[in-house]
A and B are shown apart, each in its own frame.
Chain A
Amino acid sequence: MFDFGVVTQWIDELLRSFLPGTAATLVELVLIGLCLLVGYAVIALILIYAERKVCAFFQCRIGPNRVGPYGTIQSIADMLKMLTKEIIEINHVDRFLFNLAPFMVIIASVLAFGCLPFAKGLHVIDFNVGIFFLIAVSSIGIVGILLAGWASNNKYSLIGAMRSGAQMISYELSIGLSILTLVVFSGTMQLSEIVEQQAAGWFIFRGHIPAFIAFVIYVIAGTAETNRGPFDLPEADSELTAGYHTEYSGMHFGFFYLAEYLNMFVVAGVATTLFLGGWMPLHIPGWEGFNQVMDYIPSLIWFAGKCAVVIFIIMWFKWTFPRLRIDQLLHLEWKYLLPINLCNLLLMVIVVVFKLHF
């Protein structure tokens, strides 16, 4: 299996050969930052296109098909439009916070994006509390959303922001607990380690019942975390027109939009890493030939493919269900998901202690 570490090693050596050590590190940091941002933008564009097509297919429509073959350039055209649009200055807003909010949201999602192990050797930040870091940075986004709603000086925005506050803080618990279940199972919080452990079999298979329950809860809570339907109360277009980003225009709105899609990718990426083996190919113990064939498929494709499946499921939710009401949303979390999650954690501990897993 191809190791991207070879490439990064080569670049590192090349830089160090004609630059002093600190300068080389600095250049590398800039390079990594650039790569991440480009990757971020590209993935967002692909996701926006995918969402439109998937949504259209669910709704008996064809979806974008005018710009480029099968409408593939549509999202690029939209991005260009968004970039060239005027950012409207709104009266009576708290200007500093109003302008800060979209950056908070986007920074949180870029940071979380940076933590993901994309392929073998293609992993930006890998340290022993990787998951902990990921949960921490991804929850900064909520501050941005609250700020956006507050600073807009708009009643709809404020209601939207308050809803998202209640929602995200509640569902953070479920995300944390379902991840914790897997941490108990793997015994480590380092993402690379977790992926390596799944060489013998993905955690969702090895951890059987508790891992599967944790996966389902994670996907539900993750959908809620990203403010996507049926949990799109903060923006609830038929109630609050657009919720917290009602007053935003141009690229400021674009940031919210990008962050929404990227957060979905991050959620799918984390689900992939924790439950579906990350970039690890599908290995079945005992089937040597099969395993070898699987190894020929590049790790990046494994990762992208698994993410795509999870993203499709999340989209499937959105394009099937009606929106929850705020009390239903909180009931679901506090009355159902949280107790199930706690029991599940206990179950996982039992499984680990008595070695009931495969």
Chain B
Amino acid sequence: MRSTKTYFSTFFSGLLSLLKGMRVTIREFFTKKTTEQYPENRATLKMFDRFRGELVMPHDENGNNKCIACGLCQANCPNGTIRITTDTITTEDGKKKKVLVKYEYDLGSCIFCQLCVKNCPRNAIEFRPTFEHAVFTRSKLIKQLN
């Protein structure tokens, strides 16, 4: 007798649980959809300002950057992403000074660990929240920042 009772009670409670689930899904059927309409909403899509898209070296209006070619970013990079070419010049007052010739950054091997930005003594580099980086060849990912 008891088993008969459980037979029927499980049947009906099971049925009820299924209907409950169906009620939830039909409610969601009519609620607003959450799909991000990506290429269409390009104009309004804004990434968070801390998002790390790519490394850039900001230049002022005269085209100068703050890099002093100290090489700390290169030394701190765990992945060999940054390559700095420097040159030593003599300034007007006769002092030797290292200057930056080429600042190469390989977006393809960057792991966005932020150690370069954190260790830069002059805040010469920073991350920008850009995100459309897809290109067809790897070589295009190697960028010269200065």
A355 within 8 A of B: no
A61: B residues at CB distance < 8 A: 33-35
B136 within 8 A of A: no
B48 within 8 A of A: no
Taking a contact as CB atoms closer than 8 A, the residue among B11, B21, B34, B37 that contacts A320 in the complex is B21
B24: A residues at CB distance < 8 A: 320
In the complex, residue of chain A having the shortest beta-carbon distance to the beta carbon of B30? A57
Interface residues of B in 1-41 (CB under 8 A from A): 7, 11, 18, 21-22, 24-26, 28-29, 31, 33-35, 37
Query: Dominant SS at the B interface?
Result: helix
Kindly state the interface size class of chain B when it binds its partner.
Answer: 10 to 19
CA distance A319 to B29 in the complex (A): 11
Asked whether, in the complex, the Cβ of A316 is within 8 Å of the Cβ of B33, the reply is: no
A-side interface residues, number (CB < 8 Å): 14
In the complex, residue of chain A having the shortest beta-carbon distance to the beta carbon of B40? A65
Asked whether, in the complex, the Cβ of B18 is within 8 Å of the Cβ of A316, the reply is: no
CA distance A321 to B25 in the complex (A): 10
Asked whether, in the complex, the Cβ of A321 is within 8 Å of the Cβ of B21, the reply is: yes
CA distance A61 to B22 in the complex (A): 17
Asked whether, in the complex, the Cβ of A60 is within 8 Å of the Cβ of B31, the reply is: yes
What's the nearest-Cβ distance from chain A to residue B47, in Å?
Answer: 22
A290 within 8 A of B: no
Taking a contact as CB atoms closer than 8 A, the residue among A58, A319, A321, A336 that contacts B18 in the complex is A321
Chain A: residues with CB nearer than 8 A to chain B?
Answer: 56-62, 316-317, 319-321, 335-336
Chain B: residues with CB nearer than 8 A to chain A?
Answer: 7, 11, 18, 21-22, 24-26, 28-29, 31, 33-35, 37
**What are 5 pairs between A and B in contact, CB < 8 Å?**
A58-B25, A58-B28, A61-B34, A61-B35, A336-B11
